[in-house]
Amino acid sequence: MLKVEVAVFVSIDMEEYLKVSEVIDWQHPEIMKRAKQIALGFGTPMAIAKACFEWVRDEICHSVDYQMNPLTCCASDVLKYKTGYCFAKSHLLAALLRANQIPAGFCYQRLSIDDKGAPYCLHGFIAIYLPETGWYRVDARGNKAGINAQFSPPHEQLAYKVQLPEEADFQTILADPLGIIVEALHTQVTWDNFLRSLPDVSLESAKNYGLVTDNEYAPAS
């Protein structure tokens, strides 16, 4: 396996947000290689995090925007095929950050699919722990007309804003992607089939998944 030397910017209590898993397989040689390439020339966690964010946002095609297959889930597949839904792009971004020893966790919103009400679906993005700001949320979904997500801490500029009563901006920062997201991505094969069955969590059941809507970010215990 390719070995990459990186500076360690975190304390031991952040280990959960640095771990490797089947989905966040950041020790995959190609992810390690890309993480090192992106970080080259940057000397601080904030600079490296911004470079990783912008690379995933701009270089990985959103499955729906580009109508691209295959449907991806684990970080190494997202990198290999250069496409993914918001969830999958978040998995890759977290992997690149963790490969650079920058803690990253998973965040979700509940949004109306057509901005008019039901049906609703989850939207995924991440939070990055930066020494200068603490937890900072970013959305690498990919910009297009009407969407302009940026990395400009401490100001937060996500892809979407909650506008309706049944929508939610969950403040929990999870160390692992939601199981229902991973299961849904593994169940479907093509981008259009997944689009017809986007995963959702009702506001009533959100706490069962560890999702809270308090005003302050809450790393999951």
Q: What is the pLDDT of residues 30-88, one digit of tens each?
A: 999 999 999 999 999 999 999 999 999 999 999 999 999 999 999 999 999 999 999 99
Provide mean pLDDT across the span 153-163.
96
Name the helix (H) or strand (E) containing 127. Answer: strand 120-130
Whole-model pTM: value is 0.92
Residue 157, pLDDT score: 97
Please say if the pLDDT value at position 9 is more than 50: no
pLDDT over 90 percentage in the chain? 89
Please say if the pLDDT value at position 221 is more than 80: no
14: confidence class by pLDDT, cuts 50, 70, 90: confident
Q: What is the pLDDT of residues 108-152, one digit of tens each?
A: 999 999 999 999 999 999 999 999 999 999 999 999 999 999 999
* Contact residues for 12 (Cβ-Cβ < 8 A; gap 6+): none
Provide mean pLDDT across the span 170-174.
95
With 0-12 CB in 10 A as exposed, 13-18 as middle and 19+ as buried, what is 15?
exposed
Domain 12-219 has CATH 3.10.620.30: yes
How far is CA 68 from its chain centroid?
A: 19
Provide mean pLDDT across the span 23-29.
98
11: confidence class by pLDDT, cuts 50, 70, 90: very low
Helices (H), the chain: 29-39, 45-59, 63-66, 75-81, 86-99, 179-187, 191-195
